[in-house]
Chains A and B, each alone.
Chain A
Amino acid sequence: MAATTPSQPIIEIVDLQKSFGENKVLTGINLSIPAGNTCVILGGSGSGKTVLMKHMIGLLKPDQGQVVVDGEDLVPMGAEDLERVRHKFGMVFQAAALFDSMNVYDNVAFPLREHRGMSEAEIRTLVRSKLDLMGLPRSAEEKFPADLSGGMRKRVGLARAIVMNPKIVLYDEPTTGLDPITTDYVDEMILAAQRELGITSVVISHDISSAFNIADQIAFLSKGVILEQGTPEQVRASRHPAVEVFMQTWFGKND
């Protein structure tokens, strides 16, 4: 296994284009995400954030362009190769997407049972360690997703995403629909996962405050193109009109 140095991009997207019928969603995305970083893709509703993220893990095939993950282009891959590449990923969905037929413990254990020939004792150790990392009490293990609060569900979703020790974790709007305190908590979780496990995190969000809390890098997406990419300070200082307008909604006009 080739070690990736921090400066090397783990995800490299070149001229990615995607349309649904007449609707051009992505019109030439170029983006490179260094390994070990937290990259936030900021953008308003309908900017193509989710579509971009689904390309990164091969859920969608582009009309044109390359998606290179850890040195391999996903675009020409068949189902079998994609499955292999997906072992490098964990994904946290907007509404957690926990399997509602399984309890919390089985949800987190699911990827391990599917892919690793582990004994139940080994699985238990791993599952508990991830649940502990997310601050979930033992009493939550037997609960079903329907009985959990939104914030708890997010935490279980993240525990499930990191249980296989992926290189990359994708977060689909992790703070949407959460109250400010839970939002801070989720931000802290994302940072903890990155800090403790050395994960590369890709977060799509329209939440500016959360983005500036967690990002090493921010990419600003609008109408299917990346308008600005850089450190939070660079994006904050951007003179691009669309970026400025978006930033003003949070930082205020006179700032």
Chain B
Amino acid sequence: MASENAQQAEPQQPKAPHPVTQSIESVGRGFIDTIAELGALVTLGFEVARWGVRRPYRWQNLFFQLDFVGVGSVFIVLLTGLFTGMVFAHQSSRAFEMFDAESLVGPTVALTLTRELAPVFSALMVTMRAGSAMCTELGTMRVSEQVDALETMAVNPIQYLLVPRVIAGLVMVPILTLLFDTSGILGSYFVSVTVKGLSAGTFLSRTRQWLDPVDVYEGLIKGAVFGLAVALICCFKGYNASGGAKGVGKATTEAMVSSALSIFILDFLVGVLLH
């Protein structure tokens, strides 16, 4: 009897929207959410800037983050740079061999490294190493009410927690980019000169001939932009995490994906703007 009633009542329920309408709606909603989140991210960026210039300056927190983001990443950045330079030299010398232009391996690797690969890879390494830690740490502090506790003790959490992390990203990624440049070029020197038998003089003079300081500066600007973006995104995701351990995990995943994507998108945008 009851089930009969239920069956009779069913047609009176509002009709489910057409699947096509539904999918358009969900795409639209996703788009709106993304724009809203981007807006919130930029707003947080301005808040960080506003609180960053205000007293008190907590040097200890800043140096801790500079150490964590920068010094802590030196080894993996050097290692990544070394292997990137070596692989790149190896592959490009195979190509250049075909038309007897091995002497151009040095400049090719140096240019690609300084302008593109060094800032992108350094920022990616910092994202994976320091960004993930930032996001989980802030997320855990948020869900365990430590952020609220700071606020009730009249300490602004943006100033106390976010400012040093974002400054560390902004300052340290360009420096790591320089280290990446150095170890990458050393790596390519090793492969070209020691393994492929190119003369050291040729490698160095050709590289010097083609590589301009402007190329290095471009990489540094990119490094600063990526460092700022990555630190801000990871802080934003962690700071706004909710829903316990699962929420922190979700925030970290999103932070990693968004950071990596933003590096590639910004790489293109900055590259276009600089030329």
Query: B-contacting residues of A (Cβ < 8 Å)?
Result: 54, 57, 59, 79, 83-84, 86-87, 89-91, 93-95, 97-100, 110-111, 114-115, 164, 170
Contacts and interface: CB of A to CB of B under 8 A. Distances in A.
21 contacts: A57-B152, A59-B152, A83-B154, A83-B156, A84-B154, A86-B151, A86-B154, A89-B152, A90-B152, A93-B145, A93-B148, A93-B149, A95-B144, A95-B145, A97-B144, A99-B149, A100-B146, A111-B154, A114-B153, A114-B154, A115-B154
Nearest to A83: B154
B49 to A, nearest CB: 15
B142 to A, nearest CB: 11
A110 B152 contact: no
A114 B148 contact: no
A174 B145 CA distance: 14
| Residues of A contacting B: mostly | mixed
Among B148, B154, B155, the most chain A Cβ lie within 10 Å of the Cβ of B154
Interface of B: 140-141, 144-146, 148-149, 151-156
Contacts of A170: 152
Nearest to B158: A79
The 7 lowest CB-CB distance pairs between A and B, nearest first, are A97-B145, A97-B149, A86-B154, A91-B152, A83-B154, A93-B145, A111-B153
A54 B153 CA distance: 13
A196 to B, nearest CB: 21
Nearest to A82: B154
Contacts of B154: 83-84, 86-87, 111, 114-115
Contacts of A86: 151-154
Contacts of A100: 140, 144, 146
B153 A110 contact: yes
A93 B149 CA distance: 8
B145 A79 contact: no
Contacts of B156: 79, 83
A98 B149 CA distance: 8
Contacts of A99: 141, 146, 149
B154 to A, nearest CB: 4
A191 B140 CA distance: 32
Nearest to A110: B153
Contacts of A84: 154
A91 B155 contact: no
Nearest to B147: A97
Nearest to A85: B154
Contacts of A95: 144-145
Contacts of A93: 145, 148-149
B104 to A, nearest CB: 51
A90 B153 CA distance: 7
